[in-house]
Structure 1
Amino acid sequence: MLEEGKISIRQATLLMVTTVLATAILFLPAISTRQALQDAWISTIIATTNGVLIALLVVTLMRRFPEQTLIQYSEDIMGKFIGKIIGLGYIWFFLSTNAIIVREFGDFMVAAFMPRTPLLVFNAMIVILAVMAVKNGLEPIGRMNEWLFILNSFILITIISISLFEVNLENLQPALEEGIIPALRGAYTPTSWFGEIITLGMIFPFITQPQRVYRAAVGAQLITGAFLLAGAIITIGIFGPELISHFKFPIIEVARLISLAEFFERIETLVMVIWVGGVFIKVSLFHYVTVMAAAQWFNLKDYRPLALPLGILNVILSIHLFEGVVDLVDFLSMTFPVYALSTFEVGIPALLLLTALIRRKGGINNASSQKSS
């Protein structure tokens, strides 16, 4: 067993919430309003529903192989050769997605707070912290996230509550003026973010009370959706859809408005606290599943030696994948959902589950024979 630590079902739930919420809370309103305008809040509801369905698919697959990770049961289901190809694809998906997350972090810090600081400084800083966290194992990451989640939730709820005084509900109307199609388009990108629950496939064997994972996964998606829905309503209700679509980080503009209204001073620094803490956990989790996947793909006995070299590769990719914030947002809204959803978040899991059912792989009767290496 490469990982000796265990996390509780509560810690797993909160990790799944942080995985999506940490980055989506900043980007979702701007991206969704480009497609759905004032119906972006409806897009959020649709995306949450899609996220629940993806969670059910992923957990159904995982429950058939309770002692194996995604990398391991891919070979069990599809055979060694095809399974290795699928595993290599997931290593790239986890690595490249984490590089995107790191780039989101760096761009946000530079654009919103420290424009004179080189992007490399922020990207390297967050990855170094993630490498240290991964070397300590999954259990400390889960425990740390519990405390950060409480703090971040309190700050976010406070910002949303105070912002309610500035909301103009007319900015959310008329609902579905051009039909349901724009709202569906606006849900496409956030659905791909909800699909990041596929990371659960790499940590499932290390969760206590695995029989409760269905409830945990669905609960995580609903909690995340509730926060994102509140964020969408607040930002659109305050600024209107036309203005929101031109903002890089709408939640920052909300925080600055609160400061100008003299409720508090420097509220945007609280957003930075949420962002740094949440992204640290998200980058650490994605780095963990990348390193674990690579170690299992190479049949290594210890995953920790891969933490630093893959971390360096992560930093390099994060710097060179995009030219700037505009390029990053365009990629998130147009390119990432296409290959993420169709291949790694829905396509391959659905194929694996269907093949497992046809070939009668996994399941309760076979659980005792599925040992992780």
Structure 2
Amino acid sequence: MKKLVVGEVYILYISVVLTTAVLFLPFLIAEVALQDSWLAVIIGTFVALPFSLIAVSLAMKFPEKGLEEILEEVLGKFLGKIIALSYSVLYLYISALVIRQLEEFFVLAIMPETPPIAFRILYVLVLMLGVYEGTLAILRTNVYIFPVGMLVVGLVVGLATTKMSFDNLTPVFVIGLENILQGSYLTIGWLLQFPFIVLTFFKYIETAKLTPNVKKLGMFSVIVTGVSLLAGALGTIAVFGPKQTATMFYPSFSMARTISIGNFLENIEITFVGVWVAGMYICATVYCFMSILLVTSILKLNNYKKIALPMAGLLFYLPSIVAKDLSSLFSVLRQTFPFLTIVFGGILPTIFLILASIMNKGMSTEKLKEEQQEEEESQPLKGNFGEPSSEGEGEGESP
């Protein structure tokens, strides 16, 4: 079975968060925190950091096990399967939510005369293909899309500096601490998708690659994501002002539209949308696949493809159930989504780690080091880029 490397998993996390956050979060935070949105993002990022350590620590205790196996080990078979099924439902819910966001964006900002169902049918058909083939290729593709996406976001913010007025960021603390904390709550909700990615894909990372730097790199990926969200919050408010940003559904996209450098660089929003759509595809596909992996593990199936297409097919119907219209979509993004990610991505993993430590479950640091040494000695020499060996790749639950 092919193995992943740590960097691919962390880059996937950054992509998943920024894909949905780059368009929607500046508006949602500005609604409550106005010009103090940047403070809300900073506070939210610092609060989310310890949970990245918790998630990696839990994953490293069970380096060869997926989330369902970890839950059965810690909670017992029955309760473990129930909680694992809850995670599976959540992942499919998030996948449907991502598709719903995509539909609303295209209808409002790009092609208002096209029925939303047309976008959904096209997107879900392509998603089903990706899910059926497995996400290994998507993870590898994401490694190349990621720098392009970061470059585009950097260009949008950088080139918009000429239109920014940093007077829009003052005065500070006028809105009140409660509103700032509400904005932080939204930020935390987005950042706490970290445990979802880590607890699913660490199983496929070579044990020999789980160095002590894994935890630091995990925190670094959260910081990179937080800084990117901060740049979006600062940029949109500096360009449009806090009150206008709080009334714009897609301030980042609107900021990209303002960029024009003579006849040399125009319509950068086309590239912005192209990269964003690719990122949304990866996000929706990965969450759907994570849900399928959990159900496969719960049912003890030897091949996830047996249920891949039926489960992915549910996404033809679920987006309309998740949010019936634009108003309900933003209500979900303001309240339901951050609540669910904080519970399932923050509170529950903390409880699982505490229980595993008290019950002396999982692998100790010393035992992990021994296994790493044994794995390194048994593996053939790799190339300069540390490309994992593909020997023994099978179907089963391999991504």
Q: What TM-score, normalized by structure 2, do the two folds share?
A: 0.87
Q: Is the 8 A contact 2:11 2:146 kept in 1?
A: yes
* Partners of 2:349 and 2:8 in 1: CA distance: 24
Counterpart selection for 2:93 from 96, 115, 138:
96
Aligned to 2:143: 146
Equivalent residues in 2 for 1:145-164 (5 A)? 145-164=142-161
Residue identity opposite 1:117 in structure 2 = T
Deviations 1:219-249 (A, max 9, x none): 2111111211111111000111111111111
Residue identity opposite 1:170 in structure 2 = D
* Partners of 1:217 and 1:207 in 2: CA distance: 14
Counterpart selection for 2:134 from 132, 137, 158:
137
TM-aligned CA distance change 1:263 to 1:51, over 3 Å: farther
* Partners of 2:191 and 2:2 in 1: CA distance: 26
Deviations 1:310-334 (A, max 9, x none): 1111231112321222221121112
Gaps of 5+ in 1: none
Equivalent residues in 2 for 1:1-373 (5 A)? 4-199=1-196, 200-208=198-206, 209-211=209-211, 212-259=213-260, 264-341=265-342, 343-364=343-364
Q: Is the 8 A contact 1:160 1:231 kept in 2?
A: yes
Aligned to 2:386: none
* Partners of 1:17 and 1:124 in 2: CA distance: 27
TM-aligned CA distance change 1:124 to 1:190, over 3 Å: farther
TM-aligned CA distance change 1:263 to 1:192, over 3 Å: farther
TM-aligned CA distance change 1:170 to 1:282, over 3 Å: same
Aligned to 2:387: none
Q: Is the 8 A contact 1:120 1:319 kept in 2?
A: no
Residue identity opposite 2:51 in structure 1 = I
TM-aligned CA distance change 1:366 to 1:84, over 3 Å: farther
Q: Is the 8 A contact 1:6 1:138 kept in 2?
A: no
Tell me by how many angstroms 1:210 deviates.
Answer: 2.5
Q: Is the 8 A contact 1:5 1:138 kept in 2?
A: no
TM-aligned CA distance change 1:263 to 1:176, over 3 Å: farther
* Partners of 1:261 and 1:289 in 2: CA distance: 46
Deviations 1:141-197 (A, max 9, x none): 221001111221221111111001111111000111244332111111121111111
TM-aligned CA distance change 1:66 to 1:159, over 3 Å: same
Q: Is the 8 A contact 2:169 2:237 kept in 1?
A: yes
TM-aligned CA distance change 1:276 to 1:312, over 3 Å: same
TM-aligned CA distance change 1:314 to 1:201, over 3 Å: same
Deviations 1:1-54 (A, max 9, x none): xxx232222211210100100010111111111111100011111122222222
TM-aligned CA distance change 1:261 to 1:103, over 3 Å: farther
* Partners of 1:175 and 1:131 in 2: CA distance: 47
* Partners of 1:113 and 1:260 in 2: CA distance: 22
Aligned to 2:382: none
Identity over the aligned pairs, expressed in percent? Answer: 29
After TM superposition, the structure 1 stretch with the greater mean CA deviation from structure 2, 359-368 or 299-308, is: 359-368
* Partners of 2:85 and 2:155 in 1: CA distance: 43
* Partners of 1:145 and 1:182 in 2: CA distance: 35
Residue identity opposite 1:147 in structure 2 = Y
After TM superposition, the structure 1 stretch with the greater mean CA deviation from structure 2, 215-224 or 257-266, is: 257-266
Query: Which has the greater radius of gyration?
Result: 2
* Partners of 1:326 and 1:54 in 2: CA distance: 31
Aligned length: 367
DSSP 3-state at the match of 1:226: helix
* Partners of 1:262 and 1:330 in 2: CA distance: 41
Q: Is the 8 A contact 2:128 2:313 kept in 1?
A: no
Tell me by how many angstroms 1:262 deviates.
Answer: 6.8
Q: Is the 8 A contact 1:5 1:137 kept in 2?
A: no
Gaps of 5+ in 2: 372-395
Residue identity opposite 1:193 in structure 2 = W
Deviations 1:96-135 (A, max 9, x none): 1111111111111221111122212222322322222233
Q: CA RMSD in A?
A: 2.0
TM-aligned CA distance change 1:263 to 1:159, over 3 Å: farther
Residue identity opposite 1:265 in structure 2 = E
Tell me by how many angstroms 1:136 deviates.
Answer: 2.7
